[in-house]
Amino acid sequence: MTEHDEVAQPALAGLRVIDASTLFAGPLAAMHLGDMGAEVIKVEHPRRPDPSRGHGPSKDGQNLWWKTLGRNKRAVTLDLSSAGGREAFLRLVETADVVVENFRPDTLERWGLGYEDLSAVNPGLVLARVTGFGQVGPYRRRPGFGTLAEAMSGFAAMTGEADGPPTLPPFGLADGIASLATAYAVMVALHARERTGRGQVVDLAIVEPMMAMLGPQITRWDQLRTVQPRLGNRSSNNAPRNTYRTADDRWVAVSTSAQSIAERVLRLVGRPELIDEEWFATGSGRAAHADELDEAVGSWIAARTRDEVVAAFEEAQAAVAPIYTAEDIAVDPQLQALGTIRRMEDPDLGEIAVQGPLFRLSEADPVLAFTGRAHGADTDEVLAELGYDEAEIARLREEGAA
């Protein structure tokens, strides 16, 4: 380790983020910021913790999703609708750079914690408001879960087999995409603060980042009055592109977005004559002949084991990937080389594996300081930092405010 490495701080060291959101989009955004060194304080209701603490699998009564989602976050309980909770929250906001919340529109305002109230004590505050449909419009007060965004963004309509129903993902895809957009929006607002000295409100509707990932569907409808059909694992933009079963009953995925890759694949599988077809010269032309291309590629793959297929594609410099489960991910040498999987000490479960931060920085290591904390574990400590003495903390507890 060099002297420079010893003194280097995480990229977001000195940034304080209050995570007052629940479930996934907001808490994930705060997690991403915490991974880069921001100090994150998780604020939950004293009697109604973040429901994500009860989602997914558990071991020995410990929720495994929360161990990751709550990492690097000190856990505080405050009832923001109470007078004491409101006062404590305003004191906390005075010390913060960012608040992430996902209450229904007008809820913070009803509690006297709208942006006017927050910015009165901290003009530089960035308030990230993450809801299903945004702060304005006829749907603004609807419950806004990621599933609804996956439905209304166009994703479900174009996902699934051609003769099957619209298909939703079996995980929080829209929330995950929205979390990245929220973290990005927060950094944009903080950069603007460097110029103006003022904070601002980020209004993020979960449906919009999801929609942005789906290609030019809006422009296509505007100009052509057509929509993308459901194609299963195929693509409307190129072929061959599908999942294929191997001789040892495993699966691989093949992509040929680049013309040169498509040509390499067809030479590899022994069908070079197809390259000379006029339609083969464009991705859309190949997509129109997906049946023929799938038969050529699929039959070749079906006669070989997964390892043989991957080795042959790699030698031919063609694009293939084995279809992994978590069991495969845990031992993949490339992911090990990247440090994708990290091991953390957890007070309840001992050493646990987690997916680490989303990227690496050459000048500052990400931070994985501790796993998700128990509900309210740090309330007394944080309130003391804000100037509350033991008697005042006890009073807040008696009132149900903390």
What residues are annotated to the active site? 175
One DSSP character per residue, 189-225 reads HHHHHHHHS---EEEEETHHHHHHTT-SHHHHHHHH-
> Bridge-partner residues for 73, per DSSP?
40
Q: Helix, strand, coil % (nearest 5) of the chain?
A: 45, 15, 45
Question: What would the two tokens of residue 12 be?
Answer: 């977001």
Question: What would the two tokens of residue 40 be?
Answer: 């994150």
Question: What would the two tokens of residue 69 be?
Answer: 């989602």
Q: How far apart are CA 146 and CA 262, in angstroms?
A: 35
Instruction: Look at the block and give the residue holding tokens 């166009």.
Output: 154
Across 68-92, b (16+ Cβ under 10 Å) vs e yields bbbbbbbbbbbbbebebbbbbbbbb
Residue 383's Cα: distance from chain center in Å? 30
38, 100 Cβ separation under 8 angstroms: no
